[in-house]
Structure 1
Amino acid sequence: MSKRHITLSILLILILFPMAACTKKTSKEMGNIHPNDGKDMGMNIIDSEKNIKTMPVSTKREKFKLEDIIDEKIEKALAMGRLGEVEYLEEGGYFEANANSIDYLNKEGNARMKNVKGVVINPPDASITDSYYDMSNYLQKEDILFILLDGFGYHQYKYAIEKGYLPFLGKQPEAAKALSVYKPVTNAGLAAMLTGKFPIENGVHSRKQRELQVDSIFKLAEDLGKKAIYIEGDIGILKTEIEPVLNLDNNGDGFTDDEVFESTLKAINEEHNLVFTHFHGIDDSGHSHGDLSLETMEFIKRVDGYVEELVSNWSGKVIITADHGMHSTEDGGDHGEFRYEDMVVPYLILDGGNHFD
């Protein structure tokens, strides 16, 4: 090879190397863009059992009605916005897609919701916001044990029963389907359950917010003169009127659920009127292994055993539900998108006591 060819080759390498290096930015350099962020652009249409359609944003303004783009029979439909707004669609209402968002307008053309993230066709009657109202109603006359199973979607609940991983809960009356809130992440879901308000009202619509803008069930319990305790994993999620009892992974098994279980049993024996306990392990396993993986199903069975013992030792009402669900990804599981796996969760109300088969 001539000196001229060698020189040209070196110059070519020097030019191409920085270009190639530029394509390998770290997540920090890229502004921590989540690989699934692109899937949340536009508007997703779901029902309680399937993901129906995704409507993308548009470079040109386009108007459409829901009934014109899907085949499903629509009895009612519920829209949710980026900040956790919630509104049932009106007759004659329509959507308008533009470059940045999809908005919902009434038949007169007045904007009703900016940046709609999703629509639920024929949504479940129950919502995770019902948690607050059910707790407040029962708390007037009896004690309440509230069990939050983080990241436990309705499809996981049904699959676990079918495959024999819910020997206790599977024998109870079938759970109702309950709708989570947008964004289906722990902060927002927990805030909705504790306050009975949607994110647009309670101020918590993503993982970034921790301050409630309205009172929680713990404030009501205090006003009623009731003794309440809030049991968490190893970190606090939200700032509430009472400090959570935190639980470290003392035995090093990678989960705090066994410690949360022991703390909850202790609280039951201390005669609290309201015990609110938060199990994180199903969510943790789902992220690592997938929502329907063998590992997650085995962990669901483990938590089912905890639930059985807690319910059997409790003498009042028991409410069991989840903040959000979980969907499958290439490397495990995730949540936070407007899809049925993330948005629909089980909701059960049981009578406590040692009277189960």
Structure 2
Amino acid sequence: MTSRKKLILLTVLIILFLIVGCKKQKEVDFKPASIISSSENLSTVSSLNEEILISDFIDVSKKSIVMTYDGGYYPLEFDGTLYSEKEGVNFKNTDGDKLYENVVGIINSLPKRSVMDVYHESKNLIKDNKVMVIYIDGWGWHQYQYLKENYQELYLSKIKGFEKALTVYKPVTNSGYAAMITGQPPYINGILNRDFREVKVETIFQYIEKINKRAVLI
């Protein structure tokens, strides 16, 4: 085989390899979306050419939250369809208008609380009181329930007044903490995941400084 033929064959093989690789990559990169309640997964769109009407699974007269992979956090109180398109799942209303792209989930039967309440309640209390917020990283509702059932003698198990709270997407330290100190979801405060560090809105610390009070983060 001549050098030219070898080169052409090698080039063709490389191109075929890249095409196959791209197809596999697209399959891996598809981002599913789920409809969930506060306690269970109700349905999931997990592949192309799927769609589900959300009212088949939840009471759409009750407020839900649509969360997206880019940190979106949107109230929802009407019916619509989750449908797959390209690498992800979008949401359209019953008129067919696409409202949200790259949906990660719709949460129904919401807790009364959100982690963003930490900012708003601290802001109200700090005017006339000293406020301490203890942030326990990685501590979730299921861990608390497990602790109460299995380790009743521990201090945390005996504290009254715990309430379930809705977090944000992506549920990692940076995003959750930023939501607590800004009162805003990731698509507004700018902290979408662990790769983002610069907050785009006012934090509780900046507010405290603005009203001539002091804050310490330990």
Please say whether Structure 1 and Structure 2 have the same fold, judged by a TM-score greater than 0.5: yes
Between the aligned partners of 1:93 and 1:202, the Cα distance in structure 2 is 28
Between the aligned partners of 1:100 and 1:84, the Cα distance in structure 2 is 17
Matched, 1:143 2:117: no
- Structure showing greater relative contact order (alpha-carbon pairs closer than 8 Å, 6 or more residues apart): 1
Between the aligned partners of 1:225 and 1:116, the Cα distance in structure 2 is 41
Which 10-residue stretch deviates more, 153-162 or 80-89? 80-89
Does the Cα contact within 8 Å between 1:90 and 1:106 map onto a contact in 2?
no
Match of 1:190, SS state, is helix
- Using the size of structure 1 for normalisation, the TM-score is 0.50
Does the Cα contact within 8 Å between 2:29 and 2:87 map onto a contact in 1?
no
Give 2:191's match in structure 1, choosing from 181, 192, 204. Answer: 204
Q: CA deviation at 1:166?
A: 6.1
Change (3 A) 1:184 1:146: same
Matched, 1:173 2:189: no
Matched, 1:193 2:183: no
Q: CA RMSD in A?
A: 2.1
Between the aligned partners of 1:57 and 1:40, the Cα distance in structure 2 is 7
Q: Look up the match of 1:57.
A: 47
Between the aligned partners of 1:208 and 1:166, the Cα distance in structure 2 is 39
- Using the size of structure 2 for normalisation, the TM-score is 0.80
Change (3 A) 1:184 1:57: same
Percent identity, aligned pairs only?
Answer: 33
Between the aligned partners of 1:91 and 1:203, the Cα distance in structure 2 is 28
Match of 1:119, SS state, is strand
Change (3 A) 1:73 1:108: closer
Match of 1:117, SS state, is strand
Q: CA deviation at 1:41?
A: 2.5
Q: Look up the match of 1:120.
A: 107
Q: Look up the match of 2:119.
A: 132
Between the aligned partners of 2:30 and 2:217, the Cα distance in structure 1 is 33
Between the aligned partners of 2:71 and 2:156, the Cα distance in structure 1 is 31
Between the aligned partners of 2:153 and 2:108, the Cα distance in structure 1 is 29
Give 2:207's match in structure 1, choosing from 194, 201, 220. Answer: 220
Does the Cα contact within 8 Å between 1:46 and 1:120 map onto a contact in 2?
yes
Q: Look up the match of 1:45.
A: 35
Q: Look up the match of 1:80.
A: 67
- Structure 2 unmatched runs, 5+: 1-24
Change (3 A) 1:42 1:143: same
Which AA in structure 1 matches 2:142? H
Between the aligned partners of 2:121 and 2:206, the Cα distance in structure 1 is 15
